[in-house]
Structure 1
Amino acid sequence: MSGKPKGKKPLVADKRYVSRKAKTAKPQPRRAKKKPRRVAKQRGGIIGFFQRIIRWVLRLIWRITWRVGLVATLMLALAVGYYYTTLPPVDQLLDARARGSVTLLDQDGQVFAWRGDQFGGVVTAQTVSPHLKNAIIATEDRRFYRHFGLSPRGIASAVRINLSEGRGPLQGHGGSTITQQVAKLLCLGVAFDPEKQTEAEYERECRRGTVKRKASEAIYALAMEAKYSKDEILTIYMNRVFLGAGARGFEAASERYFGKSAANVEPAEAAMLAGLLVAPTRFAPTNDLTRSQRRAATIVRLMNEQGYLTDAQARDAQENPAQLSQAAEARSGGYFADWVMSSGPEFFTRKTTEDVIIKTTLDQRIQRSAEEALQWVFDNKVRAGSEAQAAIVVMSADGAVRAMVGGRNTRVSGAFNRAVQAKRQTGSAFKPFVYAAALDLGYSPNDTVTDEPLTIDIPGSGPWSPRNYTNKYYGKVTLTHALRDSLNIPAVKVSEFVGRDLVRQVANGFGLESDLAAGPALALGASESTLIEMTGAYAGILNGGSSVQPYGLVELRLLGDQEPLMGTGGGIGERIIQEKAARQLVYMMEKVVSEGTGQRAAFGDRQVAGKTGTTQAARDAWFVGFSADYVAGVWMGYDDNTPLTGVTGGGLPAEIWRETMARVHEGIPARPLPLETPGNDGRTREDERDDNRNSGGAVGLLEGLLRDILGGTGEGRQPPQNVSGSDR
């Protein structure tokens, strides 16, 4: 048999060799060689352990930080976006006053005072003086045009300074940019609501310095930077910032202090205005001009260092510091402006929400005359260190007040005004109204009354015995003589004869509205009155016997309107005594100055009339009088009622009056007084007295009735003490 058996398996050796051949016949493709993996060498031991811990912590912090940062950025963007949507157009943010302003004009239409929050009008970064714009930036934020609303460098510097000065990091210097200051001025967009809080509370809320508030201001500043241009932000700032003396914005401040627009200020003026930003009340030039000028000098140096002023410009500004305008020097019109504001309607003066223009009766020349006269007398006639006060009112015969001085410190606003607020006993300055009542009944200045010891029994009080300043009695004297020498007993006798009710009626009619004394001391000025009332009452005598309501307001209108809302609030009223009686009284009062107790009031060859007054213990001294052109009243005394030493109405008050009126009448032609000399048909006064005595005329009737009324002359009784009204 031949061949292999079917199905026989190959030998193992054969299988091995076949496998090799197969592998050789079919080679595998070549693979690229892999580089060996480098394994970081980790330091072993404890150092390696801490390294691993630190790396893990840093990786954890990074994972948290970028997530928190992303969330914070999104929240900041949302906050900025929210404020962005609430910001109104720029022109709605320029006048933020909660109340209006009052501008007062003198009789010639010139501005002399401001009240309320003054807003002079809108200025922009383009229309304002370049010097002022540069001064603001140099002072408040030199990188204003380069930052994004916040200045990290400025904040860090402020914190460092605060800490070095022992304060908290956010106390004192704030490092705020102009944009942040505008955010504060806008109170983060929260409007003032007078029904919920006062203006002062609103201001405090807006100026809070907490961390939360500072953060909110920063966000608001970023929103403004996104919404407005740099010039628009600066415009808001220049119009809203408070700059002292009631001025809101640089236009109002420039008009207030320099009488010119902010577009026209010079470098020295611009520096003074910019210097107010740090502390407007402290550095206001109306409070302390020297301090304000020193602050301005610092601003000038900054402007020079930052290249805004050349060396020549800076030197000129330093050598010629800014000066106040004439109106600014008057310190907002002083006492007169205060009086007009207090006497006008409240809703157009003290609490106005509108911008109001008030034309007044003030004559600034006469006002300066009164102030200079008062200063001159106290400098030359009053002992150094005296705390005595004085007040002056000058008016026309119709009651138009031309000048008012309410105290020795004339450059004030809001101070106690002794001319209108101080009620003091009038002393013998009241006596003209006693004689006015008698003259109106038909008695003559030449009628006589006996000056003799007198005692009156007053029910409930007992006997009262007035006496004269000289402690002497002059027998039968004319009414003119009695007024001329300010004799007390004749004044009391005349008052008792004509009736105290009639005397009070005449005095009230002439404007003495205070409660008048009920007893016989009425005739000697025991009642109280104010200087402006007394001066107005004497104006009624000058104008022929008609009442006078003193006034200072001529017309009131709103800013921009041509038609006034109201007119004069005073003037001549109804007739009180006959014109003849008034002229006769002027004659008697002229004798007071030319021959009697008021001789120190005479000046030049001008005819003047008046009356002295000194109260009990010389606590008050008065002189009130007039020329044909003006009426003036002077009061002198202490605020605490301390007696004056060696002063009577015919002394220092008469001299203040003379100095005032002499200055007032400079350049005014002399005119005679409207007086009527009592006729005697060629007869002497003694002849008239004899006729009256023999015929039972006015004098005889007066004496007889007085004896009946008073129960005798009271001769032989000793007067107990001096009484109100004695003076020389």
Structure 2
Amino acid sequence: MPGYKAEKSKSRGRAEMSNSGGKKTRLVADKRSRPAKKTAAPKRAKTPSRRRPRKPRPPRRGGISGFFLAILRWIWRVIWGIGWRVGFIVAMIIGLATAYVYSTLPEATALLDGRSKGSVTLMDREGDVFAWRGDQFGGAVTADTVSRHLRNAVVATEDKRFYRHFGISPRGVASAIRINLREGRGPLQGHGGSTITQQTAKLLCLGVEYDKDQWKSERDYVQDCRRTTILRKAKEAIFALAMEAKYSKDQILSIYLNRAYFGGGAYGAEAAAERFFGKSATAVDASEGAMLAGVLTAPTRLAPTNDLKRSQDRAATILRLMYDQGYLTSDELRAAQANPATLSEAAQRQAGGYFADWVMDSGPDFFTRDTTEDVILRTTLDQRIQRAAEEAMDFIFENKVRDGSKAQAAIVVMSADGAVRAMVGGRETKVSGAFNRATQAKRQTGSSFKPFVYATALELGHSPNDTVVDEAYCLNIPGSGEWCPSNYDRRFHGRVTLTQALQESYNIPAVKVSESVGRDLVRKVASDFGIESDLAAGPALALGASESSLLEMTGAYAGILNGGSSVTPYGLIDLRLLGENEPLMGTTGGIGERVINEKAARELIYMMNKVVTSGTGQRAALPDREAAGKTGTTQAARDAWFLGFTADYVAGVWMGYDDNTPLTGVTGGGLPAEIWRETMIRVHEGVPPTPLPMAKVEPPRQAQPQPQPQQQPRRQPQRQRDRPIENILRQLLGID
């Protein structure tokens, strides 16, 4: 049997091999008998599977709770399925928008100066800066060149994570919203949570430039740029992302430091440092840098020129922030706190506010108010004299005027050639853009006009010793009837010299002289001296019924001092562009044509000196030098004047109420004369006394009669008007 099985197996193998080259036959296993059961061998241990064992599912909850949990799971899957798709689309839109804005951004250096207007820097007669106007820009600075204290103070205050975020700070926005809601405001009202990059984007108005056809004014344009809405915030965020991609952190900070408004008309750190501290932004110390950074929160309210104490308190807070964030050592903190920043001398005084406004208004608009260039104006202002006028004003109102009085006053000081050295346009001396009573108020001049009446008479050859009779006198005015002037004391004083008439400010002699020499001639002399306002046509012209400004009147008196030539008051010496040496324009005023001869001017100065030494202006007398002047009080004391001069300076003072309310107990020889005196005493400190250029007039030999005690009647007897005209003229001039 074994041999048979082997033979059979060989024959089957040969058969399979012989068929290998042809069609393969299906191999079928032979039927075999099932082997007998054997004892089961021990099973091999299985290798552990690499799969983690499946966690058993928690048993499903049944009932209502299980139902609601199933719904919540379904809602979550829906939200997640939609959310990531929407998020992907939003991210794509933001990316495309950011890429577009990125492509429109210019080079960083082109964004440093964003002003649409230029600045005006005003310098005094010595070349020192005393005022600024317009959008001040001191020059471009960078984050590398600016003082490290200023850079660190800005970062510590405005955006402490500036160097770590990508343009927007979700944490800062969330914190700002929380604060706003806690304080009862809307989520976007108040704190904005903006980064420095976002603030810079807002300063750039998201790349939108000013178009006068689209906005009514630049103010509307700025307000539109500062709008806070959800859509605006979204655009701002995209612009910030583009800036972060386009510029470095220091470039963004540089744009911010040059574009930010620091108050006081200063745009940019350089202008602010010059404006407040009189130094470059590269040189400010820690306390000054902290003060500048503190202004950024509320430039108008926190500007040190508006409230130095409040600005210093804010700076102290910022110094502590700088210390907490590692920008200052403990020693530096203590040193800065012990020496808080203070304003420069010019900024602290705010000298020449009214004067600066006047110069700006008197210059050409395209180089002053509407300039697109940075302009330097050299002026006639003397800051020492300006301080003297301001101190005199303050002294009188603090010591001589009752508390609560609303009375106002104005002062002008100038040289004999019309160069204005000081100007105070109201009781509030440290102002800008306020109503200037020295130049803008037109008020009746009262008796301060009388010197021009007597100047006309002297020009025609009359002498200060010529006489005129102070007696009842009336004129018939066509269309108005009879007019009878009266003296302030309601008395007649008989025959008086022209000097006495001016010295005591008698009204009747002034009218008589005016009518004698000719009203039109008096009007021409006053006009030629620089009084440009419309002069009264009637006989009341001699009593100052016409209106004029203090500046005009002071300029007219300067013409008397300089020997009788007209004067045009001026404050501008020359104008040039920043960086240029050659001026574009020069002085616009000064001495003009002669009005009266020098002899007449010297005689008039003699007469006006008597006003101060023994007449109505005695309270204006100076202790160490000669002075001349004239008082003026209008009807019902609505205006009180004193104008006068020494050999060196001319000064004019006006006092009154803005609403024409009569003054109580005030005449030109009272408080205005005292303000004039206090001003001139301070003006002449250190100036050697110089005699007045007046004529030496011998007093008349014949003694003058004492004033007649009778009361002045209201009407003149009819017989006065019936006298022949030649007799009237002889009587007017005191010719026997």
Q: Normalising by the residue count of structure 1, what TM-score does the alignment of the two structures yield?
A: 0.89
**Residues 210-248 of structure 1: CA deviation (Å, up to 9, x unaligned):** 101101111111111111111111001000001111110
Whether the aligned pair in 2 keeps the contact of 1:106 and 1:363 (CA below 8 Å) is yes
Q: C-alpha distance in 1, partners of 2:298/2:570?
A: 37
The verdict on how the C-alpha distance between 1:623 and 1:424 changes in structure 2, with shifts beyond 3 A counting, is same
Q: C-alpha distance in 1, partners of 2:74/2:479?
A: 106
Find out whether 1:480 has 2:488 as its counterpart: no
- Which residue of structure 2 lines up, in the alignment, with residue 374 of structure 1? 393
- Which residue of structure 1 lines up, in the alignment, with residue 30 of structure 2? 22
Q: C-alpha distance in 2, partners of 1:406/1:90?
A: 45
Find out whether 1:118 has 2:136 as its counterpart: yes
Secondary structure class of the residue paired with 1:359:
strand
Find out whether 1:192 has 2:200 as its counterpart: no
Secondary structure class of the residue paired with 2:32:
helix
- Which residue of structure 2 lines up, in the alignment, with residue 139 of structure 1? 157
Q: C-alpha distance in 2, partners of 1:343/1:323?
A: 33
The verdict on how the C-alpha distance between 1:132 and 1:704 changes in structure 2, with shifts beyond 3 A counting, is farther
**Residues 502-545 of structure 1: CA deviation (Å, up to 9, x unaligned):** 00000000011111111111111111110000000000000111
Whether the aligned pair in 2 keeps the contact of 1:400 and 1:551 (CA below 8 Å) is yes
Gaps of 5+ in 1: 1-18, 688-702, 714-728
For 2:189, the aligned partner's letter is Q
Whether the aligned pair in 2 keeps the contact of 1:436 and 1:581 (CA below 8 Å) is yes
Whether the aligned pair in 1 keeps the contact of 2:352 and 2:386 (CA below 8 Å) is no
Q: C-alpha distance in 2, partners of 1:48/1:214?
A: 43
**Residues 401-429 of structure 1: CA deviation (Å, up to 9, x unaligned):** 00000001000000010000111111110
- Which residue of structure 2 lines up, in the alignment, with residue 158 of structure 1? 176
- Which residue of structure 1 lines up, in the alignment, with residue 145 of structure 2? 127
Whether the aligned pair in 1 keeps the contact of 2:516 and 2:732 (CA below 8 Å) is no
- Which residue of structure 1 lines up, in the alignment, with residue 104 of structure 2? 86
1:389 to 383, 408, 418: 408
Compute the displacement of 1:317 (Å): 2.2
Mapping of 1:202-241 within 5 angstroms?
202-241=221-260
**Residues 20-72 of structure 1: CA deviation (Å, up to 9, x unaligned):** 98233999xxxx99x99999978596677666655555444433333222222
- Which residue of structure 1 lines up, in the alignment, with residue 633 of structure 2? 614
For 2:286, the aligned partner's letter is P
Compute the displacement of 1:600 (Å): 1.0
Q: CA RMSD in A?
A: 2.5
Compute the displacement of 1:454 (Å): 1.0
Q: C-alpha distance in 1, partners of 2:112/2:512?
A: 70
**Residues 263-314 of structure 1: CA deviation (Å, up to 9, x unaligned):** 1111111111111111000001111111111111111121122222222322
Whether the aligned pair in 2 keeps the contact of 1:497 and 1:706 (CA below 8 Å) is no
Whether the aligned pair in 2 keeps the contact of 1:624 and 1:632 (CA below 8 Å) is yes
The verdict on how the C-alpha distance between 1:492 and 1:209 changes in structure 2, with shifts beyond 3 A counting, is same
For 2:460, the aligned partner's letter is L
The verdict on how the C-alpha distance between 1:428 and 1:706 changes in structure 2, with shifts beyond 3 A counting, is farther
Q: C-alpha distance in 2, partners of 1:710/1:148?
A: 96
The verdict on how the C-alpha distance between 1:466 and 1:72 changes in structure 2, with shifts beyond 3 A counting, is same
The verdict on how the C-alpha distance between 1:589 and 1:99 changes in structure 2, with shifts beyond 3 A counting, is same
The verdict on how the C-alpha distance between 1:378 and 1:707 changes in structure 2, with shifts beyond 3 A counting, is farther
Q: C-alpha distance in 2, partners of 1:303/1:570?
A: 53
For 1:444, the aligned partner's letter is S
Compute the displacement of 1:471 (Å): 1.9
Q: C-alpha distance in 2, partners of 1:50/1:650?
A: 97
Q: Normalising by the residue count of structure 2, what TM-score does the alignment of the two structures yield?
A: 0.88
For 2:631, the aligned partner's letter is T
Q: C-alpha distance in 1, partners of 2:387/2:610?
A: 29
Further displaced range: 523-532 or 187-196:
187-196
- Which residue of structure 2 lines up, in the alignment, with residue 270 of structure 1? 289
Same amino acid, percent of matched pairs: 69
Find out whether 1:284 has 2:292 as its counterpart: no
- Which residue of structure 1 lines up, in the alignment, with residue 654 of structure 2? 635
Mapping of 1:652-663 within 5 angstroms?
652-663=671-682
Compute the displacement of 1:706 (Å): 6.9
**Residues 542-581 of structure 1: CA deviation (Å, up to 9, x unaligned):** 0111110000000011111111111001001111111111
The verdict on how the C-alpha distance between 1:445 and 1:155 changes in structure 2, with shifts beyond 3 A counting, is same
For 2:479, the aligned partner's letter is G
Q: C-alpha distance in 1, partners of 2:419/2:378?
A: 12
For 1:381, the aligned partner's letter is K
Further displaced range: 261-270 or 392-401:
261-270
Q: C-alpha distance in 1, partners of 2:132/2:627?
A: 36
- Which residue of structure 2 lines up, in the alignment, with residue 5 of structure 1? none
For 1:447, the aligned partner's letter is D
1:684 to 695, 701, 707: 701
Q: C-alpha distance in 2, partners of 1:142/1:50?
A: 46
Q: C-alpha distance in 2, partners of 1:589/1:321?
A: 52
1:103 to 121, 135, 142: 121
Further displaced range: 378-387 or 570-579:
378-387
- Which residue of structure 2 lines up, in the alignment, with residue 719 of structure 1? none
Compute the displacement of 1:87 (Å): 0.8
Compute the displacement of 1:708 (Å): 3.4
Q: C-alpha distance in 1, partners of 2:527/2:34?
A: 144
2:582 to 542, 556, 563: 563
Whether the aligned pair in 1 keeps the contact of 2:380 and 2:573 (CA below 8 Å) is yes
For 2:159, the aligned partner's letter is D
The verdict on how the C-alpha distance between 1:610 and 1:704 changes in structure 2, with shifts beyond 3 A counting, is farther
The verdict on how the C-alpha distance between 1:223 and 1:465 changes in structure 2, with shifts beyond 3 A counting, is same
Secondary structure class of the residue paired with 1:554:
strand
Q: C-alpha distance in 2, partners of 1:460/1:119?
A: 61
The verdict on how the C-alpha distance between 1:458 and 1:706 changes in structure 2, with shifts beyond 3 A counting, is farther
Q: C-alpha distance in 2, partners of 1:214/1:80?
A: 14
Find out whether 1:179 has 2:197 as its counterpart: yes
1:470 to 489, 514, 532: 489
Q: C-alpha distance in 2, partners of 1:712/1:630?
A: 35
- Which residue of structure 1 lines up, in the alignment, with residue 329 of structure 2? 310
Further displaced range: 314-323 or 141-150:
314-323
The verdict on how the C-alpha distance between 1:481 and 1:49 changes in structure 2, with shifts beyond 3 A counting, is closer
- Which residue of structure 1 lines up, in the alignment, with residue 80 of structure 2? 62
Mapping of 1:236-635 within 5 angstroms?
236-331=255-350, 333-635=352-654
Compute the displacement of 1:324 (Å): 0.9
**Residues 460-513 of structure 1: CA deviation (Å, up to 9, x unaligned):** 111111111122222111111111111111101000000100000000000111
Whether the aligned pair in 2 keeps the contact of 1:114 and 1:332 (CA below 8 Å) is no
Whether the aligned pair in 1 keeps the contact of 2:374 and 2:578 (CA below 8 Å) is yes
Secondary structure class of the residue paired with 1:23:
coil
For 1:424, the aligned partner's letter is R
For 2:500, the aligned partner's letter is H
The verdict on how the C-alpha distance between 1:484 and 1:58 changes in structure 2, with shifts beyond 3 A counting, is closer
Secondary structure class of the residue paired with 2:293:
helix
**Residues 93-117 of structure 1: CA deviation (Å, up to 9, x unaligned):** 0111111110000001110000000
Compute the displacement of 1:141 (Å): 0.6
The verdict on how the C-alpha distance between 1:25 and 1:490 changes in structure 2, with shifts beyond 3 A counting, is same
Whether the aligned pair in 1 keeps the contact of 2:413 and 2:420 (CA below 8 Å) is yes
For 1:684, the aligned partner's letter is R
Aligned length: 673
The verdict on how the C-alpha distance between 1:26 and 1:527 changes in structure 2, with shifts beyond 3 A counting, is farther
For 1:538, the aligned partner's letter is Y
Whether the aligned pair in 1 keeps the contact of 2:468 and 2:731 (CA below 8 Å) is no
Whether the aligned pair in 2 keeps the contact of 1:332 and 1:413 (CA below 8 Å) is no
For 2:470, the aligned partner's letter is D
For 1:222, the aligned partner's letter is L
